[in-house]
Amino acid sequence: MKRILLSLLAAALSLPAVADEGMWLLPLLKQQKFPEMQALGLKLQDYDIYSPDSASLKDAVVIFGGGCTGEIVSPDGLLLTNHHCGYGQIQQHSTLEHDYLTDGFWATTRDQELPNPGLTVTFIDKIEDVTDYVKAELEKDTDPNSMNFLSPKYLNGLAKTRVGEKFLQDNPGTEVEIKAFYGGNVYYMFTKKIYSDIRLVGAPPSSIGKFGADTDNWMWPRHTGDFSVFRVYADANGNPAEYSESNVPLRPKRWFKISIKGVEKDDYAMMMGFPGRTNKYYTSWEVAERRDIDNAVRINVRNLRQEVMLDEMLKDPSVRIQYASKYAGSTNAYKNAIGSNWAIKKRNFEQVKKEEQDRLIAWSQDNDESDYPEALSTIEQIVSDRKDLRFRSWMLDEAILRGIEFTKVPSDIQAVSEALKGKDRSEQQKQVRLLEMAYHRFADKDYAPEVDKKIAKVMLKEYRRLVPAKSQPTYFTLIDKKFKGDVDRFVDYLFDKSIYGSEENFDKFKTRPSVKALEEDPMILFAKSVQEEKSNLNAALADFDAGYAIAHRMYVKGLLAMYQDKANFPDANFSLRLTYGQVKGYSPRDADYYSCQTTLDGVMEKEDSTNWEFVVPARLKELYAAKDFGRYGMPDGKMPVAFSATTHSTGGNSGSPVLNANGELIGINFDRNWEGVGGDIQYLPDYQRSIIVDIRYVLFLIDKYAGAGYLLEEMDLVE
């Protein structure tokens, strides 16, 4: 058994990969890619980047929140990430009186640093190959359709068993996690330390941190100062602790030195971070499914929703603040879907995957292997059988569940209904108060009922146009029965009659609460019906999960066996990875070439005082006019803003540190170009570029623009 596992791992290390492609696991760098990295210019040893026994660069890389990367840049726990990663926290601290989204924020003392309940920063203490251990446990499972080999609950249970309860009790804030790689053919365990006292130190105004906003999102050339500054706090012993005034800045194992020497074309660059998800091992049928269902639905529905949202944001400053983060999140996935479909067509991914499948089938025949072709046949049948269900699920998600906010009204009314049926007055008051609290969690400061109403009308019309009536939530029959198909009147009715339709409606309910009002409430009935339909779709689609996962694992196993003498990496799964390449521009189309470096000149060229996306702050214009760039300017007198590199990144790499050949911080990754989004399926060497804010621009903005140069005093700057 062990020989088989080792041969599989050896094959996994060697599937075919082109130059600059790859999201590499740190424990495998030495035997897998390190000679190539040094040949490209790296000046470090493998143990400088990753060492299981001592501090290394990996100890300065963290998970920021639930989906971004960050980096530690001082011995006092100072952390850099993207502005868009910290956007939710900046928004939460913003009011009309203190509009940090518009004006920026800088703490002049540590007492002014702002706490962020719910925000965490996670360090990776240890990474171990536990393939033998996991597979030995899996062999005890007699169910041939078991999904335990991919189940986070099962795998994390194994992780806790492996380290023991005492280890976790003796190490506060420590968690262990086992992740599956290569479809469940290889396993690694990650020991993590999670800090929960994270404070906002500084952020530029959105006119810098979000310059170009949605117009420039996924685009190059780029001119965005996409960064924010936080600090990690711990208890007096350096252990994770909830927010307390007695907590102190964390003394980290390692922090990055920062180079202000700058970058040039073809310089070595590498990025460390937590890429979220890729689909390198898609079959041709899954490529078509992604193009024709997932991406097509998302592009269509989000475009309609965003048009309404943006129109309302431009009309009202309060709505702009309320919906800024929602709009940004929506457009992020929208443009990703557009870029993905462009790449699928441009490079004919469907045909490329089919050719790989044909090679595997031919190889299997030559080697008397029937399991791999059978796995492919199973995947083809599953994708075909789930087509209608998948379309309905995507439409329900995008148009209704994500599209209409009032689908999330408090709909669990059992407790309050039971109380109202009884005679205990104090219990009735208590349950109504709890319901009111739940309502205000839904209708919080970032919710505008009139905006939700307008969006709902557009979303419901599109949903009903594309999804057959028999496949819609049952409550939707009311639209035809009572309103003769008039969606506008139906939505107005929901808001007029529901206790959640307005503050006034809820206040009336509080005055005279009744079971009848709850049981007949149209928004509650709407939400429950949508939830029921989603539950039914999930259950129907889940019937395909085990068969697909087992077939996919076998298909990937076949690829590992076929490509034994060539190199590769597992799909991203939000585990710590390294990608490397060079600082480079690219040619998006015939006769066009984009340089690898942008400057402050481009910010001024894009300025448009009539368009909120391209407003330039007066202070930045003053510094530009005076050419007051300090030590952060380029030799030619220009101020660098961003650069592009061939590193292979995806969602989750937002905020990732970008390092030079000496392991010094030269930038913060914040995006990919639109033409490279398809790299989640297959790397595009001539198109794919990571978009990185130049660390010199970050330091210039902290020092010269914000006047927060005191923060630089705790950093190690290399000139």
Q: Model confidence over 426-472: pLDDT tens digits?
A: 999 999 999 999 999 999 999 999 999 999 999 999 999 999 999 99
Mean pLDDT for the chain overall: 95
Active-site option among 226, 294, 671, 680 = 226
Report the pLDDT value the prediction gives residue 9, as an integer from 0 to 100.
46
Catalytic, out of 228, 654, 656, 690 = 654
pLDDT band at 565 (very low <50, low <70, confident <90, very high): low
Q: Is the dihedral of CA 622, 628, 632, 637 positive or negative?
A: positive
pLDDT value of residue 554: 98
The CA angle 311-314-318, to the nearest 5 degrees, is 115
Report whether pLDDT(388) > 50. yes
pLDDT of residue 17: 55
What is the token pair recorded at 272?
A: 């460390």
User: Residue 670: enclosing H or E segment and its boundaries?
Assistant: strand 665-672
CA distance 594 to 554: 42
Tell me how far apart the alpha carbons of residues 310 and 627 are, in angstroms, rounded to a whole number. Answer: 35
| Global pTM value | 0.88
In the chain, the percentage of residues whose pLDDT exceeds 70 is: 97
Q: Is 226 a catalytic residue?
A: yes
Most distant pair of Cα atoms in the chain: their distance = 81
pLDDT tens for 223-272 read 999 999 999 999 999 999 999 999 999 999 999 999 999 999 999 999 99
pLDDT tens-digit map of 172-189: 999 999 999 999 999 999
Q: Residue 136: count other Cβ atoms within 10 Å of its Cβ.
A: 12
Contact 678, 684 (CB under 8 A): yes
Picking from 132-136, 328-332, 418-422, 485-489, which range would have the lowest pLDDT averaged per residue? 328-332
Domain parsing of the chain, residue ranges? 284-347+387-542
How would residue 299 be classed by pLDDT, with cut points 50, 70 and 90? very high
